[in-house]
Structure 1
């Protein structure tokens, strides 16, 4: 892969009010790209960018959008095409976490996190893919987590299962869009020093069961998250670099040494179990 300098792309980015999303659109605008910022709080996004003395704000289209609402997403894509004329890079960055053992979760808890983390991604892809396919070019960056192939412990099932879903969506989407010269890269984030990992974007069960000690886990996250290794500025820069790279992009990338270590341990354990149970596995063949 070879990096190139192309600062005239149109980016469609979700989850831009804080964290990685905000850092990314700041970087994009400073480098002359045109950006559609998808957010529930466009005024907040614009105010934060002004505080950072962000350049080229005239190239920003901040649209109040509910990604869980199909029509809202459809209108935001339509508006992007009307204003910017095209879409080159789609970044599915919106999401939030939820803590609780399976039996502590209500049906509403599960439905809400899937509405944002999974169905919201489907909405965005469903309405942006036609433009990428028709123009025979583009890039989709789906932001997931090492939780999408591993588990960091109990009480994360709601969040982890949505990330497993994103991985599955990405794997299929890669095959579907590849014939049209559209790349899809799955990003497995490790811990990042943002409000997300410090608990700002993590909700928790309202019906804790004492035996599971979920409240202790919440306090632990708040305590250790400020020491997460991931730098959101470097994450944003790496995402930007991927868009300016020639050659075939990887189907997935892990960001952060913690994500690498967890991925490596997960794959090694899975392979070991696979071989240990090879005879039993083969025994079910006709």
Structure 2
């Protein structure tokens, strides 16, 4: 259990998981540097920071900015309390759209925030953590990396699958520096922006062959919020527990993964069963491609 006061840097704090994580960390007595692409969207946090400057600071940070800009913001964050103990890469977007219609421009737009933005912030923070030989890196993944077989979520799923892969690699590379790495894999949670982004709808790029699928997918996205059961406040309190080694994490080893929600649990088990079936059914082919002895 951590009894020390931690300093958190949280991206995407204007709403959703980020906003709730700010309050969850503060409630444990920690210090928080909350960042948002638009300072207007966190005006209330700015006011709170003015009254609680000893534990809360707010900075403007667009994770798609140029590298030097991101590094400058991180350096400014470090100067506030002399360190960053926990980095939470929470900023992200889910742009729905059919893969062929959106094309690579739509995919790049998704990756710029969810993957490359995450990596730029991470690489700006890591030198500070390495110098102290301790820290915690938290990357927000998604159930969509386990269940991408749904029209409209291809670009988002791909960006989150990339986050999953790079986080697992970082967990190995950073262990030597005393830096813990946590991949958070949430299912559906009732946040303000959940399934709220408009789908790709460029009339000039609509492909008639996809008309029926597009209509059905758009209709499904319009109603999906009704079935969401995840409580984002509970989820972020569980995350703070794991980082601090208390509450639900008391006495447990560092998990590396934090899977949040019954839906993502079912998705992971389903994907594992699917892959096991393919391995079993095609084992003769899988094992039959070695060089002859």
The alignment's TM-score, normalised by the length of structure 2, stands at 0.89
Q: Which sits farther off after the overlay, 133-142 or 28-37?
A: 28-37
Q: Which runs of 4+ in 1 moved over 3 A?
A: 3-6, 48-51, 53-58, 207-211
Distance 2:8 2:226 in 1: 30
Report the alpha carbon displacement of residue 202 of structure 1 after superposing the two structures with TM: 5.2
User: Equivalences for 1:28-43 in 2 at 5 Å?
Assistant: 28-43=25-40
Compared with structure 1, are the counterparts of its residues 140 and 267 closer, same or farther at alpha carbon in structure 2 (3 Å cutoff)?
A: same
Distance 2:3 2:227 in 1: 34
Which residue number in structure 2 is paired with residue 224 of structure 1? Answer: 224
Which residue number in structure 2 is paired with residue 23 of structure 1? Answer: 20
Which residue number in structure 1 is paired with residue 239 of structure 2? Answer: 239
Which residue number in structure 1 is paired with residue 288 of structure 2? Answer: 283
Distance 1:30 1:244 in 2: 12
Compared with structure 1, are the counterparts of its residues 275 and 226 closer, same or farther at alpha carbon in structure 2 (3 Å cutoff)?
A: same
Q: Which sits farther off after the overlay, 146-155 or 270-279?
A: 146-155
Report the alpha carbon displacement of residue 244 of structure 1 after superposing the two structures with TM: 0.9
Q: Deviations over 1:143-195 (max 9, x none)?
A: 01111233241232101100110011101100011111111111111001012
Which residue number in structure 2 is paired with residue 209 of structure 1? Answer: 207
Compared with structure 1, are the counterparts of its residues 55 and 283 closer, same or farther at alpha carbon in structure 2 (3 Å cutoff)?
A: farther
Aligned residues: CA RMSD: 2.2
| 2:266 counterpart of 1:261 | yes
Which residue number in structure 2 is paired with residue 151 of structure 1? Answer: 148
**Unmatched segments (≥5 aa) in structure 2:** 246-250
Compared with structure 1, are the counterparts of its residues 133 and 102 closer, same or farther at alpha carbon in structure 2 (3 Å cutoff)?
A: same
Distance 2:177 2:207 in 1: 50
Which residue number in structure 2 is paired with residue 10 of structure 1? Answer: 7
Which residue number in structure 1 is paired with residue 73 of structure 2? Answer: 76
Q: Secondary structure of 1:105's partner?
A: helix
Q: Which sits farther off after the overlay, 241-250 or 96-105?
A: 241-250
Q: Deviations over 1:204-261 (max 9, x none)?
A: 3424434433243233222121331111101110111111117641121210000000
Compared with structure 1, are the counterparts of its residues 46 and 159 closer, same or farther at alpha carbon in structure 2 (3 Å cutoff)?
A: same
Q: Deviations over 1:17-66 (max 9, x none)?
A: 01110011022223332111121122321416769x99835422211112
User: Equivalences for 1:24-173 in 2 at 5 Å?
Assistant: 24-47=21-44, 56=52, 58-69=54-65, 70-173=67-170
Report the alpha carbon displacement of residue 108 of structure 1 after superposing the two structures with TM: 2.3
Report the alpha carbon displacement of residue 114 of structure 1 after superposing the two structures with TM: 0.8
Compared with structure 1, are the counterparts of its residues 272 and 5 closer, same or farther at alpha carbon in structure 2 (3 Å cutoff)?
A: same
Compared with structure 1, are the counterparts of its residues 157 and 22 closer, same or farther at alpha carbon in structure 2 (3 Å cutoff)?
A: same
Does the CA contact (< 8 Å) of 2:146 and 2:267 recur in 1?
no
Q: Which has the higher strand share?
A: 1
Q: 1:196 aligns with which of 182, 193, 196?
A: 193
Distance 1:71 1:219 in 2: 42
Compared with structure 1, are the counterparts of its residues 202 and 16 closer, same or farther at alpha carbon in structure 2 (3 Å cutoff)?
A: farther
Compared with structure 1, are the counterparts of its residues 285 and 148 closer, same or farther at alpha carbon in structure 2 (3 Å cutoff)?
A: same
Compared with structure 1, are the counterparts of its residues 45 and 226 closer, same or farther at alpha carbon in structure 2 (3 Å cutoff)?
A: farther
Distance 1:126 1:48 in 2: 26
Compared with structure 1, are the counterparts of its residues 151 and 30 closer, same or farther at alpha carbon in structure 2 (3 Å cutoff)?
A: same
The alignment's TM-score, normalised by the length of structure 1, stands at 0.91
